[in-house]
Amino acid sequence: MSALELIQLNLLTPVVLAFFLGMAATLLRSDLKMPDELYQGLSIYLLLAIGLKGGVELSAAAPREFLIPAGGAVLLGLAVPLWCYALLRKIGRLTVADSAALAAHYGSVSAVTFLATLAFLAALGVPHEGFMPALLAIMEVPAIVVALLLARSRVPERTPWRELAREILTGKSILLLAGGLLIGLITGREGFAKVEGFFVTPFQGVLALFLLEMGMVAARRFGDLRKVGWFLVGFGIVMPLLHGALGIYVGKWCGLSMGGSMILGVLAASASYIAAPAAVRLSLPQANPTYYLTASLAITFPFNLTFGIPLYYAFARFAYGV
Amino acid sequence: MKTHPLKLVTIIGEAVLADRLLREIRKLGAKGHTLTTVEGQGSRGVRASEWEGKNVKIETLVSEEVADAILHVLSEHYFANFAVVAYVHDVGVVRGEKYV
């Protein structure tokens, strides 16, 4: 399949088109508005569903099969914020707080980008390891901790560690992903069959609704692109490409299938916008949210969703020589 | 009817701060509060809550000393980095002993 066909295959899905519809609604100043309660409900559904499915698959996987990729995922989460921070500080000339905040976002992961990738692979019929949602959960936290550590010694006024740990670990995205994994792991396939009708069949529809809202949010931030400057726009596109390639190689070294490595690449390439913003806002308030929210939501997320996913797929094929 | 002179402290801030602010005012001696979700815009124009949730308005009836302490903590730890507005009203409250 040519690159153009891959991009087409990725763009012309209800989920991605719903994202564009959301964008159009904001740009055309439509009165469309997603109620906050609905948005909260959809995100709870999505996170719990991902966790559950991942847990069920994890219950079927051999521990060794899983532990090595899990180690690779942790290493990626720990390492990515280090060079992001250095680059933003030295070349981008951003403040300590802003650099660390961005490093936390780019080291952490985006659940929706992950889901779009699963849909893309399903459309192509490419198999992958079922436990990938566990890697998504594993990669949420380390980068946030590393980035906060980087900033902590260099900014005045610190939040006590205990409070920080509580805020990061009890945040809804970690709680639901990890909790879902645990429930799936305990109840296995048999238990999952009982809730399957609710958590599997409507899943893509819920995702489409969620992306409608994300399109509106991303488009609202387009005005801020001028404020954040060209360096950050470039950063938000180039870094995901580098991280994507790195993640794919790490996946290959860890023995993942091509589909699995591509997903790990997407995880490395994606930037967080649920767990990281909440944690960073509370524990690193000196950082300007305009930078990290705009970079993550208005640059990296749309890029990954449209062109990134097919590119990472093409790269994974290249890495595996197929 | 007999009323007690008290202070009504109103704090409007980013939704992510809600838990933290409630803990602070309790620690400083507030006996209760009312929390509402509100929408609005201010001079700062940058809010983390633009993505997740709206703003919260916390109202609490307290003595003058507690009101001062709350405003002091807010100006020390919150005004610089967060979108927070706070103001105080003089109010007359029925059953004032409940609040001090």
pLDDT tens for each residue of A211-236: 999 999 899 888 888 888 899 999 99
Which domain range does residue B55 map to?
4-99
Are the beta carbons of B77 and A217 separated by less than 8 Å?
no
So what's the pLDDT on residue A46? 94
pLDDT score of A28 more than 60? yes
Q: Considering the entire predicted model, what is its pTM? A: 0.88
Local structure of B4: helix, strand or coil: strand
CA-nearest residue of chain A to B21? A282
Q: Which residues of A74-103 are buried (b: 16+ CB within 10 A; e: fewer)?
A: eebbebbbeebbebbbeebebbbbbbbbbb
So what's the pLDDT on residue A183? 95
So what's the pLDDT on residue B43? 64
CA-nearest residue of chain B to A172? B52
In this structure, how many other beta carbons lie within 10 angstroms of the beta carbon of residue A29? 7
So what's the pLDDT on residue A275? 84
Mean pLDDT, to the nearest integer, of A79-100? Answer: 95
In whole numbers, what is the pLDDT of chain A averaged over residues? Answer: 91
How far is A224 from A209, CA to CA, in rounded Å? 24
Cα A34–Cα A122–Cα A61 angle in degrees, nearest 5: 105
The answer for residues whose C-beta is within 8 angstroms of residue A162's C-beta and 6 or more apart is: none
In chain B, residues with a C-beta closer than 8 Å to the C-beta of A220 are 50
The CATH class of A3-319 is mainly alpha
pLDDT tens for each residue of A176-203: 999 999 999 999 999 999 999 999 989 9
So what's the pLDDT on residue B48? 44
Q: Which of B36, B37, B50 to mutate to test the interface with A (most CBs of A within 10 A)?
A: B50
Check if B24 contacts A (Cβ < 8 Å).
no
How far is A186 from A196, CA to CA, in rounded Å? 15
pLDDT tens for each residue of A288-310: 888 999 999 999 999 999 999 99
Query: How far is CA A158 from its chain centroid?
Result: 27
The answer for residues whose C-beta is within 8 angstroms of residue A126's C-beta and 6 or more apart is: A258, A259, A262, A313
pLDDT tens for each residue of A152-170: 877 766 667 777 788 778 8
Check if B16 contacts A (Cβ < 8 Å).
yes
> Does residue A259 or residue A167 have the better pLDDT?
A259
Q: Which of A128-137, A141-150, B37-46 shows the lowest mean pLDDT across its residues?
A: B37-46
List, in sequence order, every residue forming a beta bridge with B6; answer none if it has no partner. B91
Q: Among residues B51, B58, B47, B39, which one has the least CA distance to residue B14?
A: B47
Positive or negative, the Cα torsion across A290, A293, A294, A295?
A: positive
Size of interface A-B (CB pairs under 8 A): 33
Domain boundaries, chain A: 3-319
- Pairing type for strands B84-93 and B4-14 reads antiparallel
Mean pLDDT, to the nearest integer, of A279-283? Answer: 85
Query: Six-digit token pair at B18?
Result: 């809600």
Are the beta carbons of B51 and A286 separated by less than 8 Å?
no
Give residue A1's identity as a one-letter amino acid code.
Answer: M
CA-nearest residue of chain A to B54? A36
In chain B, residues with a C-beta closer than 8 Å to the C-beta of A157 are 77
Mean pLDDT, to the nearest integer, of A116-123? Answer: 93
CA-nearest residue of chain B to A97? B81
Of residues A217, A282, A286, nearest to B51 (C-beta): A217
So what's the pLDDT on residue A170? 83
Phi first, then psi: what are they for A109, rounded to 5°? -125, 165
CATH of the domain at B62: 3.30.70.120
Query: Six-digit token pair at A65?
Result: 């099969």
Check if B17 contacts A (Cβ < 8 Å).
yes
Q: Which of A37, A39, A228, A293 to mutate to test the interface with B (most CBs of B within 10 A)?
A: A293
Low pLDDT (below 70) residues in chain B: 42-53
Of residues B20, B46, B77, nearest to A288 (C-beta): B46
Query: Six-digit token pair at B31?
Result: 């006996």
How far does chain A reach from its first CA to its final CA, in angstroms? 12
Check if B54 contacts A (Cβ < 8 Å).
yes
CA-nearest residue of chain A to B15? A278
CB proximity under 8 Å: B 63-92 to A: 77, 81-82
How far is A14 from A78, CA to CA, in rounded Å? 35
